[in-house]
Amino acid sequence: MYILGLDVGTTQVKAAVCDINGELMGSAAVEYSLATGKNGEAEQDCRDWYDASVKAICVAVKDIDRSKVKAISLSTQGGSTAMLDENFDPVRPVMTWMDSRAQSEALEAEEFFGKDYLYNMSGWRKNACFDPAKLLWMRRNEPELFAKTKWFLNTHDYVVYRLCGVLACDYSNSAMRQIFDVKTLSYDKKVLEFLEISEDKLPKLVPSGVKLGNLTAQACADTGLTPETELYSGAHDQYAAAVGCGAMKNGDMLLATGTSWVINAICDKMLFSSAYIAPGIHVEKGIYGAIASIGGAGKAVQWYKDTMLSDVSFKEADLEAEKRAESAKKVCFYPFFNGIPFPVQRPDVKTTVLGLELHNDRFDVMRAAMEGACFTIKNALNSYIGAGFAPKSLIMSGGAAKSPIWRQIAASIMDVPVEIVANADACSVGAAIMAGVSSGMLESYEAAGEKFNKHTAVEADSELVKLYKEKEQIWMKGYQMLKNS
């Protein structure tokens, strides 16, 4: 018997099929495009989400008996909105969570509701990437398309519908839209009235782990799976990553590294704070998360690698960057393509490199880029420490966790052990675990953790800790200059 997890992310779908003993039986990754523009546009085709999911499933299960795949669940990017007509066809490209064109609309929404209404309701402060801003922008700039839209869905809803024909959204993904009240577990009527949309244009609300249905005949034909395969509601990718890493109890802290880098502290109550840490609902009842999203930190490093080091592999770049601790000690990289992130909102300040000297080469900057992502996280952790969360360790997942030098940099800058999970693709594995627990194939999340979550600790290097305490002061001076510019 097998369980299957889909991670429908910003630029790719990852699939993981596991047995109930925690063994990875097959995996796949299928990429799709993200179209960006000079005014903050970041769009994609929602049909790519499903097509890539189908391809990833087919590759992941190619060496196993497909009839034994009994349950599926999803991990999905949050805050990306698909606008669909009555035939379920897109009326325009998806406005993803990275789309920042609606800055003035975000300010207008905050003024309309009051400074902290949206935060206290949804757990997320005002942001051009969320529905109150994006849908207001669409209503004003594309009124005909807005009127034509029958369904406003996010990634989870769309892929679920294509797989099993049910329109439903879990609580963690719903909160990312900023139209869902995390306290009442219902859509916020004031926001819907502001946007001039009715609740019947939105999916029904469900907890994570609810059986939504079996695969449709079309989904079976596309994937080769059987009609007996059950689909369960999933979670926002940061909560799926927490499941995949075993961050399921009060006091755990996860650092997920992808396009964005995200801190998720696990707690037994919702944490609202003056720094706007985002509280949310974990996949298991009575457990919550507290998220800080460092938008674009990973994307900035990936951009630098693809643009300036396109002639070498990431492994080769790693090996060269590992040699550059001393030569790059005055080079400071600020990975702010989406603006200065949590806890400051300065979308107008962009990626910057300071301190370059004639002796520096492109691998010095690569090292500084890796360090810059970690310094940004260290700065964000101060808000958690102020709220009573002083991490004794960090569970690290995602792309940076695969890099030996990057995880060593992280441990030394944070000056705490970094725990690396055996399978760095925690989101897809987390979704598989959700499918297993929800279907009853796995006894509990605690029991699943013993089988799926194998950690290796990376300790801080004492020499690097000393170097980074000095460099942090230099980096923070540049940060303060940019923040106040």
| Model pLDDT for residues 152-170, shown as the tens digit of each residue | 999 999 999 999 999 999 9
pLDDT for res 250: 86
- 480 falls in which pLDDT band (50, 70, 90)? very high
| Model pLDDT for residues 292-316, shown as the tens digit of each residue | 988 778 889 999 999 999 999 999 9
Residue 269 and residue 319 in contact, taking contact as beta carbons nearer than 8 Å: no
pLDDT at 7 over 90: yes
Of 91-105, 153-167, 265-279, the range with the lowest mean pLDDT is 265-279
Local structure of 459: helix, strand or coil: coil
Local structure of 56: helix, strand or coil: helix
User: 105 vs 69, 133, 140, 198, 203, CA distance in Å?
Assistant: 45, 5, 10, 20, 24
pLDDT at 140 over 80: yes
Bridge partner list, 169? 205
Nearest Cα neighbor of 400 from 418, 378, 380, 379 is 418
Residue 391 and residue 381 in contact, taking contact as beta carbons nearer than 8 Å: yes
Phi, psi of 379 (to 5 degrees): -65, -40
pLDDT for res 157: 96
| Model pLDDT for residues 442-458, shown as the tens digit of each residue | 999 988 888 888 788 89
Please tell me the distance from the alpha carbon of residue 104 to that of residue 107, in angstroms, as a whole number.
5
Please tell me the distance from the alpha carbon of residue 416 to that of residue 391, in angstroms, as a whole number.
8
pLDDT at 377 over 70: yes
pLDDT for res 199: 96
pLDDT for res 383: 87
| Model pLDDT for residues 19-78, shown as the tens digit of each residue | 999 999 999 999 999 999 999 999 999 999 999 999 999 999 999 999 999 999 999 999
Please tell me the distance from the alpha carbon of residue 454 to that of residue 22, in angstroms, as a whole number.
10
- 341 falls in which pLDDT band (50, 70, 90)? confident
Per cent of the chain over pLDDT 70 is 100
**pTM of the entire structure?**
0.86
pLDDT at 274 over 90: no
Residue 237 and residue 77 in contact, taking contact as beta carbons nearer than 8 Å: yes
CA 53 to chain CA centroid, Å, is 17
pLDDT for res 397: 84
Residues 6+ apart with CB under 8 A from 179: 122, 131, 132, 187, 188, 191, 192, 195, 202
Residue 152 and residue 169 in contact, taking contact as beta carbons nearer than 8 Å: no
Question: What average pLDDT does this structure show over 10-16?
Answer: 94
Question: What average pLDDT does this structure show over 388-402?
Answer: 84
Average per-residue pLDDT for the chain: 93
pLDDT at 347 over 80: no
pLDDT for res 344: 79
Widest distance between CA atoms in the chain: 64
Please tell me the distance from the alpha carbon of residue 15 to that of residue 28, in angstroms, as a whole number.
5
Cα-only R_g, the chain? 22
Nearest Cα neighbor of 373 from 313, 435, 302, 426 is 302
pLDDT for res 424: 64
| DSSP letters for 62-123 | TTS-GGGEEEEEEEE-SS-BEEE-TTS-BSS-EE-TT----HHHHHHHHHHH-TTHHHHHHS
Please tell me the distance from the alpha carbon of residue 11 to that of residue 190, in angstroms, as a whole number.
33
CA 117 to chain CA centroid, Å, is 24
